[in-house]
Structure 1
Amino acid sequence: MIKLFATDLDGTLLKSGNTIKNKDIEAIHSLSKTEIDFAIATGRLDRDILEICKEIRKNAHRVSQNGAFVLSDSHDFIHQRTFDLEMSYKLHEHITSYSHLVCISTKDEIYISKRTEELKAMENFLYFPLIEGIDFIDKYGTEINPSKYMLLGENKQLVSIEEEIKNLFGISIESYISDPNCLDIVPKGVSKADGLKRLAKHLHIKPSEIAVIGDAYNDIPMFEMTPNSFCMSSAPIEVQAKAKHIVDDVYEAIEQITSLVSN
């Protein structure tokens, strides 16, 4: 029996320009008819999820920053994880040594190394402005507690950098190519699957009672967590191979799971 449906945002529920299909919104609202709970699991900040909830007029359990933060739909804090002070120093110094654009996330903000024309264009589709300036290593442990580091660039270069970072810091970090041009680095053990498992424990359900949908490499852990996994047909072939079902839209996945519950 499926008791919770969790969706990724970018490339899944969110289409180009942060648009959401009406059919997807209607399907999300239909979940309550079969007593299936709703969650959003994303690499974005929690505040972005709250904006989506306003747009679709539906509260959601929230797994943000790839599982670094987990909150219930009634805003109960279930889990949070940031880098410890020593690892924050090491990652900051290493990651900023690359020529690539750097983004550093905390619970509530995203700091960027440089507001390029590319980032300005991207910012137009974000719900909140980016903050330029990452020269705050002296504020680590007091004002700034990093939860995610991101490098932006060409995919081949990011794949190579990911291997290098894994070799250096693998026992302390998890890394995901969350987008072809974005490498995410989060604390060890942080994943959408881990976040959803913590949420499941809070809701007194089993991971196998969760259905999930996504489209990127950072969605693979949650695909592997449950037999009820859906992948967008627009996803890379390697990502599709990890899911049980392939669909074109979120509403198709919801229709499949609600029909099973109804029968």
Structure 2
Amino acid sequence: MVKLFATDLDGTLLKKGNIIKEEDKDSIKRLSDNGIDFAIATGRLDRDILEICKEINQSAHRVSQNGTFVQTKTNESIYTKTFDVSNSKAIHEKMRKYQNILCISTKDELYISKITAEMKALENFLYFPLIEGIDFLDQYGESIHASKYMLLGEEQDLVKIQTELLSHFTDNIESYLSDPNCLDIVPKGVSKAEGLKALAQHLQMEPNEIAVVGDSYNDIPMFEMTPNSYAMSTAPAAVQQKASHVVDDVFEAIDHITNAVKS
């Protein structure tokens, strides 16, 4: 029996332009009527999840930055894993050698190497402004605690960079394509699945009692964690193949789950 439903944001609950369908909002509200708890698992910062919660008028357990941070709906922090100072500096120096735009996340901020016209347009769909400037190597461990690195570019180039980075930092990083044009680098052992497992343990439930929905490569660890997995029909074929079901919308996944509860 499903006890917790977790959704990805971009490309899943959030449609183009940060639009959330009313049917999805209504279905999330119905979860509690069926005794099912609600969580959001995303590559975004926790502050973004809180804005989404305001929009849908629902509290949620929160797995942010691909599992780097996990907080309950009552704001209890139950898991945190950031890069240590030496790894932060080594990864920073390695990644800024690429020509790609580099983003660096901390718990509360998102820094970017350059705000181009394209990034300025993208910023309109972010809930908080980007901070231009990443020249703070000497601030790691003091005012800057890196939780995630991102490189932006063409998918074929990012895949090559991903292979190189994984080879160079084998024991220190995990890497996911959160979007065809965005490569995420997080601490070793971090994933949405591990974040949800930490949440499940806190809530005294098993991973197979969780249902998940997503659309990107960084959602695959979630799909592999539970038999109750749903991929969006807009997801790449390789992502869809990892899920138990394919749906067009979040509310379809929720309807499938709640109907099973009733039967």
TM range (shorter): over 0.9
Q: Distance in 2 between matches of 1:238 and 1:140?
A: 37
**Cα distance in 2 between the residues matched to 1:66 and 1:76:** 18
Alignment of 1:210-229 (within 5 A): 210-229=210-229
Q: CA deviation at 1:262?
A: 1.0
Are residue 131 (structure 1) and residue 131 (structure 2) matched? yes
Alignment partners' CA distance in 2, 1:257 and 1:170: 38
Show the counterpart of 2:166. 166
Q: Which runs of 5+ in 2 are unaligned?
A: none
Give the equivalent residue in structure 1 for 2:80. Answer: 80
Aligned twin of 2:91: 91
How far does the alpha carbon of each residue in 1:113-164 deviate from its partner, in whole angstroms, 9 at most, with x for none?
A: 0000110010000000000000011000010000000000011000000000
Question: What is aligned with 1:147?
Answer: 147
Cα-to-partner distance string for 1:169-200 (whole Å, 9 max, x where unaligned) = 02110000110000000000000000000000
Secondary structure of 1:202 counterpart: helix
Normalising by structure 1, what TM-score?
A: 1.00
Q: Which amino acid aligns with 2:167?
A: N
Q: Tell me the percent identity.
A: 66
Structure 1 unaligned segments of length 5 or more: list them. Answer: none
Task: Report the 3-state secondary structure (helix = DSSP H, G, I; strand = E; otherwise coil) of the residue aligned with 1:70.
Answer: strand
Q: Distance in 1 between matches of 2:113 and 2:237?
A: 32
Match for residue 33 of structure 1?
33
Q: What is the rounded CA distance, in whole Å, between the counterparts of 1:93 and 1:249 in structure 2?
A: 40
Alignment of 1:1-263 (within 5 A): 1-263=1-263
Separation in structure 2 between the aligned mates of residue 153 and residue 77 of structure 1, nearest angstrom: 33
Q: Distance in 2 between matches of 1:85 and 1:149?
A: 14
- Letter of the 1:207 counterpart: P
Counterpart CA distance in 2 for 1:201 and 1:261 is 22
Aligned length: 263
What is the CA-CA distance between 1:207 and the residue it aligns to?
0.2
Aligned residue for 2:2, secondary structure, equals coil
Letter in 1 for 2:133: G
Distance 1:67 1:151 in 2: 18
Residue 14 of structure 1 and its aligned partner are, at CA, apart by: 0.0
Deviation at 1:242, TM superposition (A): 0.1
Deviating runs (4+, > 6 A) in structure 1?
Answer: none
TM normalised by structure 2 equals: 1.00
Indicate the SS of the match to 1:102: strand
CA–CA distance in 2 between the matches of 1:161 and 1:32? 43
Q: Classify the secondary structure of the residue corresponding to 2:17.
A: helix
**Distance of 2:76 and 2:165 partners within structure 1:** 34
